[in-house]
């Protein structure tokens, strides 16, 4: 198991390096320039000086290596300094945003909690809803519960999140007035009242994201359960007089969850993509919103860093999925 994990880990490193290069090049070679927001009345020699101050006059490999160094060395040091009050980083130059001149990681740190609370609770809710539905509709295949469940999951799977979000806003905010449509980012949870307010404003975005993800997870659970329910060992378990509950929930479910767990792990980073849209719909001031506004002002360091962080998440969750697969299914590890 250890060699299996190590091999996966080692494979992830070149992938990440290659992805970082691709992201850097795609953003860096783009014809748009971070100077496009500066008025044309600024004389060219001043513009050249601004470019030099931003470090834009260096060749791209220098900037790439500098970015890598800041990403993997300087910024973690600053992170440690912040946590433990040490002075490891000294005054090494940080990764700065072009437009606000603030450190990119501080911007991300400010935006991340909103995104994580909404996405995290949505994903948990999705799993909690999807598993029982998937299990029951496979157990009673072609029953009315299964028919309705399959239909709803097909809808949840097909209708894009921005439309479900808009319809939810239309029904629950405009006509019924039950929930707010705009997420108040400055709300701090300090006591029971603010906690309730937080729950209140999180309901709509969480439900929208959860519906979408629940649809996918329940489809996988159902088909994986169906595959296992017709296996011989199920008949054996029943034949030796085991209770139906034990057969389904112990024997079949455990085996069916192997692919489902991987799907859940693999889906975790892609939900960030869906979150970009949901954040836009519900005006949540999270990572996705930061990315979109950074794209609009050609703030290359912010765009590169957020994109690369997402890529790291994807690789990380792929790794987790691989390792989980190895843990759950001994046939997969080749040791």
Partner 1 sequence: MTDATVIEAPRSLWLDVWAQFRAHRGAMVGLFVLIFLLLFVLVGPLFWTKEPILVNSNTAQMFKSRNLGASLTNPLGTDQVGRDIMARLMLGGKVSLAVGFVAMGVAIGVGTLIGVLAGYFRALDNALMRLTDMFLSLPLLPLLLVLVYLYGGVMRAEFGPNLGTFFIIVAGIGLTSWMHVARIVRGQVLAVKEREFVLAARSIGTPSRRIITRHILPNVLSPVMVAATLGIANAIITESVLSFLGQGFQPDFPTWGSMLNYAYNNQSYPVQMIWPGLAISLTVLSVNYIGDGLRDALDPRIRGR
Among positions 247-306, residues that touch partner 1 (CB under 8 A) are 269, 272-273, 276-277, 280-281, 291-292, 295-296, 298, 303, 306
Which CB sits closer to partner 1, 89 or 276?
276
Q: Does 1 bind partner 1 (CB under 8 A)?
A: no
CB closer to partner 1 out of 124 and 292: 292
**3-class state of residue 188 by DSSP:** coil
- CA dist., res. 18 & res. 234, Å (int): 46
- Residue 70: both structure tokens together: 């800041």
Write out the binding residues for partner 1, residues 132-171 only, by CB under 8 A.
154-155, 157-160, 162-163, 166-167, 169-170
Q: Which two tokens stand for residue 24?
A: 């850097």
Reduced 3-state DSSP string for 207-262: HHHHHHHHHHHHHHHHHHHHHHHCCHHHHHHHHCCCCHHHHHHHHHHHHHHHHHHH
The answer to whether residue 70 forms part of the interface with partner 1 (CB under 8 A) is no
Residues 49-68 that bind partner 1 (CB under 8 A): none
Q: Which of 71, 94, 100 minimizes the C-alpha distance to 299?
A: 100
Shortest Cβ distance from residue 65 to partner 1 (Å)? 20
Residue 318 as a binder of partner 1 (CB under 8 A): the answer is yes
- Integer Cα distance of 94 and 53 in angstroms: 14
- The residue among 89 and 281 lying less far from partner 1, judged by its C-beta, is 281
User: How far does Cα 15 stand from its chain's mean position?
Assistant: 19
We find the least distance from the C-beta atom of residue 41 to partner 1, in angstroms, to be 22
Residue 154: name the closest of 227, 223, 218 by CA: 218
Does residue 230 interact with partner 1 by CB under 8 A? no
Rule CB under 8 A: which residues touch partner 1? 15, 18-19, 22-23, 26-27, 30-32, 154-155, 157-160, 162-163, 166-167, 169-170, 174, 269, 272-273, 276-277, 280-281, 291-292, 295-296, 298, 303, 306-307, 310-311, 314-315, 318
């Amino acid at each position: 198991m250890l060699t299996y994990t190590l091999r996966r880990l080692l494979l992830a490193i070149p992938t990440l390096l290659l992805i970082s290069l691709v992201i850097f090049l795609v953003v860096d070679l783009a014809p748009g320039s971070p100077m496009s927001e500066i008025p044309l009345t600024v004389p060219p020699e001043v513009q050249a000086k601004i470019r030099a101050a931003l470090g834009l006059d260096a060749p791209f490999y220098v900037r790439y290596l500098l970015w890598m160094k800041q990403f993997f060395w300087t910024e973690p040091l600053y992170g440690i300094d912040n946590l433990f009050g040490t002075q490891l980083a000294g005054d090494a130059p940080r990764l700065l945003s072009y437009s606000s001149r603030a450190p990119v990681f501080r911007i991300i740190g400010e935006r991340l909690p909103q995104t994580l609370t909404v996405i995290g609770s949505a994903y948990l809710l999705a799993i909690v809803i999807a598993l029982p539905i998937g299990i029951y509709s496979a157990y009673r295949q072609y029953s009315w519960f299964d028919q309705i469940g399959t239909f709803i999951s097909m809808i949840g799977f097909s209708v894009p999140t921005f439309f479900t979000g808009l319809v939810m806003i239309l029904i629950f905010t405009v006509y019924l007035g039950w929930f707010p449509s705009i997420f108040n980012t400055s709300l701090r949870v300090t006591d029971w009242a603010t906690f309730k307010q937080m729950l209140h404003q999180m309901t709509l975005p969480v439900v929208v994201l959860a519906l979408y993800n629940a649809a996918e997870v329940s489809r996988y659970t159902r088909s994986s359960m169906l595959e296992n329910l017709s296996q011989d060992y199920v008949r054996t378990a029943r034949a030796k007089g085991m209770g139906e509950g034990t057969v389904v929930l112990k024997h079949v479910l455990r085996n069916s969850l192997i692919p489902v767990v991987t799907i859940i792990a693999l889906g975790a980073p892609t939900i960030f993509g869906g979150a970009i849209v949901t954040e836009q719909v519900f005006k949540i001031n999270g990572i996705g919103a930061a990315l979109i506004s950074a794209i609009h002002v050609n703030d290359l360091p912010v765009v590169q860093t957020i994109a690369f962080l997402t890529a790291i998440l994807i690789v990380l969750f792929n790794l987790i999925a691989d390792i989980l697969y190895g843990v759950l299914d001994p046939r997969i590890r080749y040791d």
